[in-house]
């Protein structure tokens, strides 16, 4: 039953991962800490999960032509370099016993900032430009965004997409759907480097990791396909709301209200799934009506 729970958890989180292009780690790491995992165990397990969901999500976004390969390589390679700088920092926090409060505080600060960024950006999503070819986005900006995302990825056990997506929208001028697909590609490079950095020194329950990945392989495909039913500004607003829900759950963890934090995340996921199902049904209904017209 325990592993079945983690399969379901992996599937639900990966739906959000494939939809928002965020790897799923920034949701999974605090959720695992709510379940009682130590910060470094949660980080390592989350990086393993992000590898699986990224691979699955990428395949769907390739078919939808949402991945900008050159930009993704720049973001990913700079992020991989950053993972090697972040690893000693995480072990330092663990050694000093600061990880229990430092990691949640990092989440609160970063997610609060990006929640506000994405909610403000939602009104401007329609005016974004399609950077499908060439080097319109600044290479310097891409390197800085990739390095920052990679450092945070290894520090917090996340894919880095929750940083990379909003920054790509805000500073590189990518439309949210392109930012989502390109982010997933870069995330795969980053989390693979980060996981192997930890795996050699940290012991985790690999059966839990495999259970999460197993559920994730199904969910991320579904999540990526859902982007076709939503407008760019809707995705932006919903990502901001997800950040806010995660921040609230981390704060509840700090005050020992783990169960309340889990309930809050469950409410958000449930609301997202209900809205998504309604969107799909509406689209199918409209398609059927158009097909039946003479």
* Beta carbons of 30 and 232 less than 8 angstroms apart: no
Measured CA to CA, the distance from residue 105 to residue 91 in angstroms comes to 17
* Model pLDDT, residue 286: 81
* Beta carbons of 226 and 283 less than 8 angstroms apart: no
- Give me the residue label for tokens 């059927």: 288
Measured CA to CA, the distance from residue 248 to residue 31 in angstroms comes to 12
Q: Give the CA distances from residue 55 to residues 19, 93, 187, 219, in Å, rounded to whole numbers and listed in that order.
A: 14, 30, 9, 12
Q: What is the DSSP string of 130-148?
A: ---STT-S-HHHHHHHHHH
Residue 194's nearest CA partner among 152, 164, 232, 165 is: 152
Measured CA to CA, the distance from residue 99 to residue 103 in angstroms comes to 6
For residue 130, name the pLDDT band (cuts at 50, 70, 90): very low
- For the cut 60, the answer to whether the pLDDT of residue 126 exceeds it is no
For residue 135, name the pLDDT band (cuts at 50, 70, 90): very low
Residues 6+ apart with CB under 8 A from 271: none
* Beta carbons of 148 and 162 less than 8 angstroms apart: no
Q: Hey, how many other C-beta atoms are within 10 angstroms of the C-beta on 116? A: 14
Residue 164's nearest CA partner among 139, 146, 138 is: 146
**pLDDT tens digit string along 19-69?**
876 657 777 888 888 888 888 888 889 888 888 777 777 877 787 888 888
| 94's tokens | 């663990």
| 161's tokens | 């997409």
Residue 53's nearest CA partner among 77, 80, 19 is: 19
* Beta carbons of 194 and 49 less than 8 angstroms apart: no
CA angle 13-21-142, nearest 5°?
145
pTM of the predicted model, to two decimals? 0.67
Measured CA to CA, the distance from residue 89 to residue 182 in angstroms comes to 28
**pLDDT tens digit string along 208-258?**
989 998 888 777 667 777 888 888 778 878 888 888 888 888 788 778 787
Q: Give the CA distances from residue 144 to residues 76, 148, 150, 247, in Å, rounded to whole numbers and listed in that order.
A: 11, 6, 10, 25
* Model pLDDT, residue 136: 56
* Model pLDDT, residue 143: 92
Mean pLDDT, residues 183-193 taken together: 86
Q: What phi and psi values does residue 280 have, to the nearest 5 degrees?
A: -65, -45
């Amino acid at each position: 039953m325990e592993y079945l729970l983690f399969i379901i958890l992996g599937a639900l989180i990966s739906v959000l991962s494939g939809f928002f292009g965020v790897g799923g780690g920034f949701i999974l790491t605090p959720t695992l800490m709510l379940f009682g995992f130590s910060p470094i165990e949660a980080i390592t397990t989350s990086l393993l999960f992000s590898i699986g969901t990224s691979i699955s999500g990428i395949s769907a976004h390739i078919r939808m032509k949402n991945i900008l390969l050159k930009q993704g390589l720049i973001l990913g390679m700079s992020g991989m370099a950053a993972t090697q700088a972040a690893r000693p920092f995480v072990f330092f926090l663990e050694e000093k016993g600061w990880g229990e409060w430092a990691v949640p505080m990092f989440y609160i600060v970063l997610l609060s900032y990006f929640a506000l960024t994405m909610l403000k950006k939602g009104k401007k999503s329609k005016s974004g430009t399609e950077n499908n070819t060439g080097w319109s986005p600044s290479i310097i900006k891409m390197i800085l965004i990739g390095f920052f995302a990679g450092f945070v990825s290894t520090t917090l056990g996340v894919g880095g997409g929750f940083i990379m997506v909003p920054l790509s929208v805000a500073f590189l001028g990518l439309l949210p759907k392109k930012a989502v697909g390109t982010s997933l590609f870069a995330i795969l490079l980053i989390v693979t480097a980060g996981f192997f950095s930890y795996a050699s020194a940290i012991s985790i329950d690999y059966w839990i990791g495999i259970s999460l990945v197993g559920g994730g392989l199904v969910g991320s495909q579904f999540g990526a396909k859902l982007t076709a039913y939503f407008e760019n500004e809707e995705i932006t607003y919903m990502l901001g709301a997800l950040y806010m829900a995660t921040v609230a759950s981390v704060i509840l963890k700090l005050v020992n209200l783990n169960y309340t934090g889990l309930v809050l995340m469950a409410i958000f996921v449930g609301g997202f799934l209900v809205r998504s199902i309604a969107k799909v049904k509406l689209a199918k209904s409209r398609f059927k009506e158009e097909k039946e017209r003479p």
